[in-house]
Amino acid sequence: MPVSRAAINRELKRRMGGYGRGGRMKIEADEVEILGGVRFGKTLGSPVALLIRNLDFANWIGAMDPHGAHPGDALARTITRPRPGHADLAGALKYGTHDARDILERASARETAARTAAGALAKAFLTALGVAVTSRTVAVGRSTAAPDEGDDFDALLALPDDAPMRSPRPATVEAMIAAVDDARRRADSVGGCFEVLARGLPPGLGSHAHWDRRLDARLGAALLSIQAVKGVCIGDGLEVAGGGGREAHDPIGYDPTARRFTRPSNRAGGIEGGMTNGEIVRLRGYLKPLATLPRALPSVDLTTKALSEADVERTDTVPIVAAGVVAEAMTALVLADSMLEKLGGDSLRETRTGLDAYWRTLRDY
Ligand SMILES: Cc1cc2nc3c(=O)[nH]c(=O)nc-3n(C[C@H](O)[C@H](O)[C@H](O)COP(=O)(O)O)c2cc1C
């Protein structure tokens, strides 16, 4: 498979953007180095090794020294007042440390840079099979996108990489930016919702036959693994739960010219019975308001057990655009897996041949 360093870097840059991010992203300028698994711009079949350097690490060499002795709390930047809403306390208890720094650096969503880079390879694979993946911002706090904003897939694909919010409507972007500014003014954070969309998938990826092969379950787990994502919704799943069955589903039609089944609506979000149904896959992720706040939340010191305020770290106000980009990567990784399961092949050409044959089979159905 061809690999483009520029395409990976583009995704990394997209992940760093969006309105509402904090200081860390001003320090980093993520770029990938390809260490192995690729020769003359093509994968070899061996694992692809990608390196992204943390430029900020230069400021942390003493505090994160793998070899030296503990230099004392100040220099080690020890964290003893765990932040509520983070891995700090549970991780410190689980691993028996009184310095939550051991936990929080690994728990940080900084690692989603690596997922984004790996996801760029999955995206390239899917693109070669005619599948496009994109995302949009559905809500920031109480500022929500208009109901039809996700209908024009091409408009979403065409959004500039540096868009402050991923919405094609300037009024929506403005309202969402205002929601971020409002939270900042109150020294608070704010939550949000993003949607990932994938177009061009054949029906029948995943399976109804085993719980662990259900595509919605696998995509759900992939999205829930993103830090601060507390809920996932397939299609209009959350909205339809409050209504009746007549408005919840997508009638089935047939187009004899194209020789394909048609759906006039896509409330199911492209997945029925744990399988793609040939429509656009739509997944929403709900982000909790971030737990690191300029005005810290109440906590207890791990060593003294005294009530105190949580330690304060540099923080975003809401990384909603970035979370959408990471979710694109996670979705692409799961979809690439499910394509390979369905089609097999040791080369891109073989997989494509399998896909073409499957599309033909569907037309002759
Ligand atoms: C792209 C991205 C950036 C994030 N940046 C921050 C941040 O700057 N400050 C913060 O407190 N949490 C941030 N988070 C969320 C935390 O990493 C997450 O809430 C924390 O690890 C607690 O884990 P949990 O919410 O998944 O249970 C970010 C999440 C994502 C996806």
- Which pLDDT tens digit goes with each residue over 8-64? 999 999 999 999 998 666 777 889 999 999 999 999 999 999 999 998 889 999 999
Which domain covers residue 357, as residue numbers? Answer: 110-363
Residue 302's pLDDT band (cuts 50, 70, 90): very high
200 CA → ligand 1 middle, Å? 31
Specify if 301 maps to a domain: yes
Residue nearest atom 20 in ligand 1 by C-alpha distance:
86
Q: Residue ranges of the alpha helices (H) in the chain?
A: 5-16, 24-27, 73-76, 88-95, 101-107, 112-128, 153-157, 170-185, 215-224, 237-240, 320-343, 348-363
| Domain CATH number, residue 271 | 3.60.150.10
Summarize pLDDT for 18-27 with one digit per residue, the tens: 999 986 667 7
Contacts of 231 (CB under 8 A, 6+ apart): 238, 285, 286
Q: Ligand 1: residues whose CB is within 6 Å?
A: 22, 85-87, 107-109, 112, 226-228, 288, 290-292, 315-316, 319, 322-323, 326
What percent of the chain has a predicted confidence (pLDDT) above 70?
Answer: 99
Closest CA to 333 of 207, 225, 209: 225
Amino acid at 276: T
Q: Within a domain: residue 10?
A: no
Residues 6+ apart with CB under 8 A from 306: 300
Question: Does residue 260 lie in a domain region?
Answer: yes
In a domain, 255, yes or no: yes
Q: How far apart are CA 349 and CA 107, in angstroms?
A: 39
Give me ligand 1 centre to Cα 110, in Å.
9
Q: Is the residue at 49 inside a domain?
A: no
Tell me whether residue 165 is in a domain.
yes
Indicate the number of domains in the chain: 1
Nearest-atom number in ligand 1 for the CA of 322 is 1
- 307: in domain: yes
Q: Looking at the domain assignment, is residue 67 inside a domain? A: no
